[in-house]
């Protein structure tokens, strides 16, 4: 039906989304990709599911990179006077470990979940702007590669710590190009996150299935939505800071150079105004995952859904008012310190609400301790420890003693690793069958979980003690006789157990895939879950839903399987197989793939190298970006030349009668255009709103 709506006589202007589709070759350069198979398909795809998988795979690659850096740190600190790394390389390694884990592992892993699951959980066929979605991924990847390329071409990694305080970030103390790569690499990655945030917010707000009110959205989608809002408003602040840093280093400005009248505190404020919301950007997606996993394996609805959502929103708001607790020792004055102490204590309240709600959800439930559930419970427990040590930072006098010691390192690893990483890995076990169509082995999964939990606590638990004993954060070595030896060795042993557990995860993925051929397929709903992504086949067909479901309430999918008998007892009214869609819809209209996001993304690091090494390099980079934007704007959203059975038809029967109307399958090519001229337009096409 989309086709019939296309005006025949007009040009290819595609500024307003979804209005026109005319077969012209924009700029005559790259022909429109047709979907196809193999690597070409992945390079040009705009499918939110493939983009989500690419985010996930890339994130795991950088998890390994950041993990190797972590192991190097722990090897260096295993024994006193360690000689594995020089002090200079040690600085680079711990900086790049932090930057990699935050920006190149957890954020993209959360983005993987957001991309893959938000459209499925709200009953959409794709995100609001599929091509922008591809753009986000490619820009993020180009930024990530750019950032890490400083090891090779920049004279080493950044060496100023992940928050890169001045004057350590200035040319005097960091003469290599590492910090330049840090600034520009994060700027590029920031563009990706900003575009993605806008895209996903519009998706959540505008693309919901009929009946999917905001307060029927699963908690995961809610937490991801709040995360996107945090990104939307936090990224411009770090953008300003990074631009100023770049001006300082590459164009002789003096924003952060105290010798020239600049103020290092400005960087700290700008960084942490971004940096504290960033903490919630990392943790909220994991909270969302936990909020899906625990109800499913407790066979109970989430306790206090509205409270969960509103405490998430409260965290989102209050997260903006606590940034200076990172700066208690910077001399910001007693009033500021008192105010930020109080706000920091207050933000523990909505977080505590969440923890209690998860426990209340489990209370009296029929709990199944699957791997995903173990990870979820582990997340709650470990995050609570990290949250409690966080409250000790809120008390400024205590924080003055703790700051820049290993106690801080212990705290934020409990929050970010114990909360964020455990939660997201639990999410992998939970949604793996939905995404890839086979289950991860439970026994190996539990080995993975226990190894990770034990290794994690061995690594980061002792750091509380080390920190309180006075071991400074970021020292490259220590002398014998301070009492640091034993716990450092324990932490190093623990870090290798974590490495083993990550290897166990990869092994489980590989082995389970091999075994999957001999096992029955998981079916649409292997966990007896609650939200509507489980009502479609596993793996998810390209078009997601055969027919966009009409949603009647929270936990829609569960209520399609279960009802109540006369005594008010829960009875099964349909099996998952009966209630699920079979994925058989054909000729569903999907947005056409495009190469332009990739072209645009290649241009940005070229500009980055140009800024650092030779401004002339900016010219080809800028041309690529400009060409990408214009070709993109001129490229029709729909490809009239696309294969008949692949991209050209309407998505579902609009009258919802389960049959496909005759106009659901319109052909391609000239015939179709003639038909378009003759036929009256019909309101339809779910995907019509999904154009970028």
Partner 1 sequence: MTAATAAPATPGESTAHDDHGPSTGISNTKLAMWLFLGSECLLFGGLISTYLLYKTRRGPDNRAIPTDVFDIPFTSISSFVLLMSSLTMVLALSALTRGDNHGARVWLLATSMLGGVFIGGQVYEFTSFLREGVGFTNNPASSAFYALTGFHGVHVSLGIVMLMSLFVASWQGKLRPEHSETVEIVGLYWHFVDVVWIFIFTVIYLVPA
Using CB under 8 A as the binding rule, the residues of this chain from 671 to 690 that contact partner 1 are: 680-690
- Indicate whether 270 belongs to the interface with partner 1 (CB under 8 A): yes
Binding footprint of partner 1, residue count (CB under 8 A): 68
Burial 294-313 (b: 16+ CB within 10 A, else e): bbbbbebebbbbebbbebbb
Distance from C-alpha of 145 to C-alpha of 149, rounded to nearest angstrom? 6
Query: By C-beta, is 26 or 82 nearer to partner 1?
Result: 26
Using CB under 8 A as the binding rule, the residues of this chain from 11 to 40 that contact partner 1 are: 11-13, 15-20
Q: Give me the DSSP letters along 126-162.
A: S-S-HHHHHHHHHHHHHHHHHHHTHHHHSSS---STT
From the list 175, 236, 333, 483, which residue makes contact with partner 1 (rule: CB under 8 A)?
236
Min separation Cβ 11 and partner 1, Å: 4
From the list 28, 259, 335, 364, which residue makes contact with partner 1 (rule: CB under 8 A)?
259
- Indicate whether 133 belongs to the interface with partner 1 (CB under 8 A): no
Query: By C-beta, is 467 or 684 nearer to partner 1?
Result: 684
> How many residues are given for the chain?
692
Min separation Cβ 198 and partner 1, Å: 5
Token code pair at residue 667: 């052909």
Distance from C-alpha of 666 to C-alpha of 654, rounded to nearest angstrom? 15
Task: Find the part of the chain contacting partner 1 (CB under 8 A) among 57-65, 218-226, 244-252, 282-290.
Answer: 244-252
Query: By C-beta, is 11 or 669 nearer to partner 1?
Result: 11
Element of type H or E holding 564 = strand 562-564
Unique residue bearing structure tokens 């935050």? 102
Distances (CA, A) of 52 to 223, 300, 634: 17, 29, 26
From the list 654, 664, 668, 672, which residue makes contact with partner 1 (rule: CB under 8 A)?
654
Task: Find the part of the chain contacting partner 1 (CB under 8 A) among 56-64, 145-153, 232-240, 352-360.
Answer: 232-240
Using CB under 8 A as the binding rule, the residues of this chain from 177 to 216 that contact partner 1 are: 194, 197-199, 201-202, 205-208, 210, 212-213
CA-based torsion, 511, 517, 520, 521: positive or negative: positive
From the list 62, 90, 113, 129, which residue makes contact with partner 1 (rule: CB under 8 A)?
129
First and final C-alpha spacing in the chain? 19
Q: For residue 574, give the nearest of 524, 628, 641 by alpha carbon.
A: 524
DSSP 472: B
Q: Give me the DSSP letters along 481-492.
A: TSS-HHHHHHHH
Distances (CA, A) of 66 to 73, 148, 149, 184, 499: 11, 11, 14, 19, 11
Q: For residue 127, give the nearest of 227, 71, 230, 50 by alpha carbon.
A: 50
Beta-carbon contacts of residue 15 (< 8 Å; ≥ 6 apart):
633
Query: By C-beta, is 237 or 465 nearer to partner 1?
Result: 237
Min separation Cβ 3 and partner 1, Å: 10
From the list 107, 223, 235, 529, which residue makes contact with partner 1 (rule: CB under 8 A)?
235
- Indicate whether 254 belongs to the interface with partner 1 (CB under 8 A): yes
Min separation Cβ 203 and partner 1, Å: 8
Element of type H or E holding 572 = strand 570-572
Distance from C-alpha of 583 to C-alpha of 535, rounded to nearest angstrom? 10
Query: By C-beta, is 472 or 550 nearer to partner 1?
Result: 550
Element of type H or E holding 500 = helix 485-516
Burial 434-447 (b: 16+ CB within 10 A, else e): bbbbbbbbbebbbb
From the list 23, 89, 232, 332, which residue makes contact with partner 1 (rule: CB under 8 A)?
232
- Cβ atoms 163, 139 nearer than 8 A: no
From the list 240, 395, 493, 627, which residue makes contact with partner 1 (rule: CB under 8 A)?
240
* DSSP-derived 3-state class of residue 120: helix
Token code pair at residue 442: 């439970």
Distance from C-alpha of 414 to C-alpha of 105, rounded to nearest angstrom? 16
Q: For residue 179, give the nearest of 239, 235, 242, 98 by alpha carbon.
A: 242
Q: For residue 521, give the nearest of 429, 434, 582, 437 by alpha carbon.
A: 437
- Indicate whether 244 belongs to the interface with partner 1 (CB under 8 A): yes
Query: By C-beta, is 254 or 477 nearer to partner 1?
Result: 254
Task: Find the part of the chain contacting partner 1 (CB under 8 A) among 254-262, 284-292, 564-572, 604-612.
Answer: 254-262
Min separation Cβ 206 and partner 1, Å: 4
- Indicate whether 382 belongs to the interface with partner 1 (CB under 8 A): no
List phi, psi (to 5°) of 9. Answer: -95, 5
Query: By C-beta, is 12 or 583 nearer to partner 1?
Result: 12
- Cβ atoms 603, 625 nearer than 8 A: yes
Token code pair at residue 579: 């209630």
Task: Find the part of the chain contacting partner 1 (CB under 8 A) among 27-35, 250-258, 350-358, 534-542.
Answer: 250-258
From the list 30, 253, 345, 395, which residue makes contact with partner 1 (rule: CB under 8 A)?
253
Min separation Cβ 277 and partner 1, Å: 11
- Cβ atoms 507, 468 nearer than 8 A: no
- Indicate whether 615 belongs to the interface with partner 1 (CB under 8 A): no
Query: By C-beta, is 355 or 676 nearer to partner 1?
Result: 676
Min separation Cβ 82 and partner 1, Å: 40
Distance from C-alpha of 108 to C-alpha of 285, rounded to nearest angstrom? 11
Task: Find the part of the chain contacting partner 1 (CB under 8 A) among 248-256, 382-390, 494-502, 513-521.
Answer: 248-256
Using CB under 8 A as the binding rule, the residues of this chain from 319 to 348 that contact partner 1 are: none
Distance from C-alpha of 615 to C-alpha of 593, rounded to nearest angstrom? 33
- Cβ atoms 512, 439 nearer than 8 A: yes
Query: By C-beta, is 194 or 466 nearer to partner 1?
Result: 194
Task: Find the part of the chain contacting partner 1 (CB under 8 A) among 158-166, 229-237, 395-403, 498-506.
Answer: 229-237
Query: By C-beta, is 208 or 464 nearer to partner 1?
Result: 208
Min separation Cβ 233 and partner 1, Å: 5
Min separation Cβ 1 and partner 1, Å: 9
Min separation Cβ 681 and partner 1, Å: 5
From the list 62, 255, 406, 429, which residue makes contact with partner 1 (rule: CB under 8 A)?
255
Query: By C-beta, is 10 or 404 nearer to partner 1?
Result: 10
Our CA angle for 50, 51, 57, nearest 5°, is 90
Using CB under 8 A as the binding rule, the residues of this chain from 54 to 93 that contact partner 1 are: none
- Indicate whether 580 belongs to the interface with partner 1 (CB under 8 A): no
Which positions touch partner 1 (CB under 8 A)? 2, 5-7, 10-13, 15-20, 128-129, 194, 197-199, 201-202, 205-208, 210, 212-213, 232-237, 239-241, 243-244, 247, 251-255, 259-263, 266, 270, 630, 633, 654, 680-691
């Amino acid at each position: 039906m989309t086709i019939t709506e296309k005006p025949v006589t007009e040009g290819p202007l595609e500024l307003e989304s979804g209005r026109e589709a005319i077969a012209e070759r924009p700029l005559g350069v790259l022909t429109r990709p047709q979907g196809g198979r193999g690597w070409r398909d992945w390079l040009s795809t705009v499918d939110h599911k493939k983009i989500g998988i690419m985010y996930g795979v890339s994130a795991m690659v950088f998890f390994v990179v950041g993990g190797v850096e972590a192991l190097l740190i722990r090897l260096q600190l295993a024994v006193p006077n360690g000689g594995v790394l020089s002090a200079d390389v040690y600085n680079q390694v711990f900086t790049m470990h932090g930057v990699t884990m935050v920006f190149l592992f957890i954020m993209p892993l959360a983005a993987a979940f957001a991309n893959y699951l938000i459209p499925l959980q709200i009953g959409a066929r794709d995100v609001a702007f599929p091509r922008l979605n591809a753009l986000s991924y490619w820009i993020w990847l180009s930024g990530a590669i750019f950032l890490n390329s400083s090891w090779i071409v920049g004279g080493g990694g950044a060496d100023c710590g992940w928050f890169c305080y001045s004057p350590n970030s200035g040319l005097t103390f960091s003469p290599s190009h590492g910090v330049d790569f840090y600034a520009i690499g994060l700027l590029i990655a920031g563009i990706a996150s900003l575009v993605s945030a806008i895209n996903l917010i519009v998706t959540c707000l505008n693309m919901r299935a009929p009946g999917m009110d905001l307060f029927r959205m699963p908690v995961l989608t809610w937490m991801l939505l709040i995360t996107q809002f945090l990104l939307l408003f936090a990224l411009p602040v770090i953008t300003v800071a990074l631009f100023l840093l770049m001006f300082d280093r590459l164009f002789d400005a003096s924003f952060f150079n105290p010798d020239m009248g600049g103020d290092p505190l400005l960087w700290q404020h700008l960084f942490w105004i971004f940096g504290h919301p960033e903490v919630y950007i990392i943790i909220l997606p994991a909270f969302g995952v936990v909020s899906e996993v625990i109800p499913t394996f407790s066979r109970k609805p989430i306790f206090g859904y509205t409270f969960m959502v509103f405490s998430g929103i409260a965290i989102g708001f209050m997260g903006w008012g606590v940034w200076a607790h990172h700066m208690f020792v910077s001399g910001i004055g007693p009033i500021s310190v008192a105010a930020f102490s109080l706000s920091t204590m207050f933000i523990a309240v909505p977080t505590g609400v969440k923890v209690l709600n998860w426990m209340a959800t489990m209370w009296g439930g029929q709990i199944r301790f699957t791997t995903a559930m173990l990870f979820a419970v582990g997340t709650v427990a470990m995050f609570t420890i990290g949250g409690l040590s966080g409250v000790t930072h809120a008390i400024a006098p205590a924080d003055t003693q703790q700051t820049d010691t290993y106690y801080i390192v212990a705290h934020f690893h409990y929050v970010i690793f114990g909360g964020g990483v455990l939660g997201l890995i639990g999410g992998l076990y939970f949604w793996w069958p939905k995404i890839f169509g086979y289950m991860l082995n439970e026994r190996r999964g539990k080995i993975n979980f226990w190894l990770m939990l034990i290794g994690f606590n061995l690594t980061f638990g002792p750091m509380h003690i080390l920190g309180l004993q006075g071991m400074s954060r970021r020292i490259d070595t220590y002398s014998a006789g301070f009492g640091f030896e034993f716990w450092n060795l324990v932490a190093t042993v623990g870090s290798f157990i974590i490495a083993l557990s990550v290897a166990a995860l990869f092994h489980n993925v590989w082995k389970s895939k091999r075994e999957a051929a001999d096992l029955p397929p998981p079916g649409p709903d292997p966990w007896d879950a609650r939200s509507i992504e489980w009502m479609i086949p596993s793996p998810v067909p390209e078009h997601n839903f055969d027919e966009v479901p009409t949603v009647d309430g929270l936990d829609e999918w569960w209520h399609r399987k279960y009802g109540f008998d006369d005594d008010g007892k829960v009875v099964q009214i349909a099996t998952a197989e009966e209630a699920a869609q079979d994925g058989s819809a054909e000729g569903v209209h999907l947005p056409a793939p495009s190469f332009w996001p990739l072209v645009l993304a290649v241009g940005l690091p070229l500009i980055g190298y140009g800024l650092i090494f030779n401004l002339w390099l900016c010219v080809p980079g800028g041309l690529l970006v400009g060409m990408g934007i214009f070709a993109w704007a001129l490229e029709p959203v729909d490809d009239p030349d696309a294969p008949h059975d692949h991209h050209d038809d309407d998505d579902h029967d609009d009258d919802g009668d389960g049959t496909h109307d005759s106009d659901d399958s319109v052909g391609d090519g000239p015939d179709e255009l003639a038909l378009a001229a003759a036929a009256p337009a019909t309101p339809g096409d779910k995907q019509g709103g999904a154009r970028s």
